[in-house]
Amino acid sequence: MKMAPSQKKKKNLLYLGRDYPKGADYFKRRLNNIFLKNKDVKNPEKIKELTVQGEFVMKELEALYFFRKYKAMKQRCYSDTNKN
């Protein structure tokens, strides 16, 4: 059985939200509220707009995680040189 595109997007967002700074439960609640709020949308233009917004959120979360990873790596690498 195939998943609807919105279900795939929700699943991907839930996966990305597991490391959210305010916690996975907070992210999951917010995500569920957003999907429930927009469950009755039938207008194709509005659906496309919401899909683009979901993709933007996914990219922002990925950027947040990459930045956090870079920041931790930079701190580990340069913290030894500053101790002299």
pLDDT at residue number 70: 87
pLDDT at residue number 57: 92
Domain-embedded: residue 1: no
Domain-embedded: residue 3: no
Identify whether the C-beta of residue 69 lies closer than 8 Å to the C-beta of residue 28. no
Domain-embedded: residue 4: no
Q: Quote the number of domains for the chain.
A: 1
| Tokens at 47, concatenated | 């659906």
Domain-embedded: residue 77: yes
pLDDT at residue number 49: 93
Domain housing 34: 12-81
Residues written for the chain: 84
pLDDT at residue number 6: 81
Domain-embedded: residue 35: yes
pLDDT tens-place values along the chain, 84 residues long: 676 778 888 899 999 888 888 999 999 999 999 999 998 999 999 999 999 999 999 999 999 889 988 888 888 888 766 555
Identify whether the C-beta of residue 10 lies closer than 8 Å to the C-beta of residue 31. yes
pLDDT at residue number 1: 66
Identify whether the C-beta of residue 26 lies closer than 8 Å to the C-beta of residue 20. yes
Identify whether the C-beta of residue 50 lies closer than 8 Å to the C-beta of residue 38. yes
Domain-embedded: residue 65: yes
